[in-house]
């Protein structure tokens, strides 16, 4: 999160997978003018780290992004739930807080119980979110 923080962003929810990620964050201003710059550095740092782990220098890991500006409270809350529940939706875990690369566990530990209940109560089945997750075969 240090890259996001250095640009003034505050992440509220995140879920990271083998070929994509989702996050909900608050920008430092209304225009979110530094989103592309922040994501460029985030992609660079995480790609280098992942490629080092896999001994695959130069491999393209994250190569694009698209954003949605959330201006309605209910859309924001539903997307918080969507991001937290995404590992379950993709069949990776039975309960979202079990996925190590998801903020659900952190959220459940730090938010008030009423907040957790409220956010987890928002319907996510009708959200239109680009999500191209593919299960990769084990080698």
Name the band, by pLDDT with cuts 50, 70 and 90, for residue 102: very high
Average pLDDT value over all residues in the chain:
87
**Mean pLDDT across 98-105:** 96
Residues 44, 63: Cα–Cα separation, whole Å: 10
Q: Which residue has the higher pLDDT, 100 or 18?
A: 100
Q: Is the pLDDT of residue 137 over 70?
A: no
**Mean pLDDT across 24-49:** 90
Q: Which residue has the higher pLDDT, 128 or 63?
A: 63
| Domain assignments of the chain as residue spans, ordered by start | 2-120
CATH homologous superfamily of 2-120 equals Transposase IS200-like (3.30.70.1290)
Residues 45-67 have pLDDT tens digits of 988 998 898 898 888 888 777 78
**Mean pLDDT across 27-40:** 89
**Mean pLDDT across 27-33:** 88
**Residue 134: per-residue pLDDT:** 56
- H-run or E-run covering 35: helix 35-54
Cα–chain center distance at 110: 17
Alpha helix positions (H), 67-127: 73-89, 104-110, 113-120
**Residue 25: per-residue pLDDT:** 92
Residues 78, 70: Cα–Cα separation, whole Å: 10
């Amino acid at each position: 999160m240090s890259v996001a923080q250095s640009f003034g962003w505050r992440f509220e929810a995140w879920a990271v997978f083998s070929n994509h990620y989702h996050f909900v964050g608050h920008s430092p201003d209304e225009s979110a003018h530094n989103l592309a710059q922040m994501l460029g550095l985030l992609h660079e740092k995480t790609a280098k780290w992942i490629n080092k782990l896999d001994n695959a220098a130069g491999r393209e890991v994250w190569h694009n992004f698209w954003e949605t500006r959330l201006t309605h409270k209910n859309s924001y809350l539903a997307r918080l739930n969507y991001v937290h529940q995404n590992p379950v939706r993709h069949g990776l875990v039975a309960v979202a807080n079990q996925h190590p690369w998801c903020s659900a566990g952190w959220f459940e530990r730090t938010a008030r119980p009423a907040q957790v209940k409220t956010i987890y109560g928002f319907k996510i089945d009708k959200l239109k979110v680009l999500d191209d997750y593919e299960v990769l075969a084990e080698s």
